[in-house]
Amino acid sequence: MIYKAVPGPKVIRIENDDLSMATNTFADLINANATDGWVFHSLETINTTETTKTGCIFNRQLQTTEHNIYMLIFCKEQ
């Protein structure tokens, strides 16, 4: 079995509490990648931490920002 990871959208904007816009976005992404024997396996969240320097050169501070990255996992037989 081999796997591939496809990044999911970071933000999905919806209008008028229409959650189907969000679910359709993921469905479209899954359908677009479920070709040539690839089958959707799971949705995984990867937590990342980014550290940046802020402030002037004489008073540098480190700022840490956390991000969640959503990955759609597909698999197929070799």
pTM score of the predicted model: 0.71
pLDDT at residue 70, rounded to an integer: 92
Query: CA 57, CA 7: separation in Å to the nearest integer?
Result: 36
Query: CA 73, CA 4: separation in Å to the nearest integer?
Result: 6
Question: Residues in the chain, how many?
Answer: 78
pLDDT tens by residue, 30-55:
999 999 999 999 999 999 998 887 77
Over pLDDT 70: what percentage of the chain?
A: 100
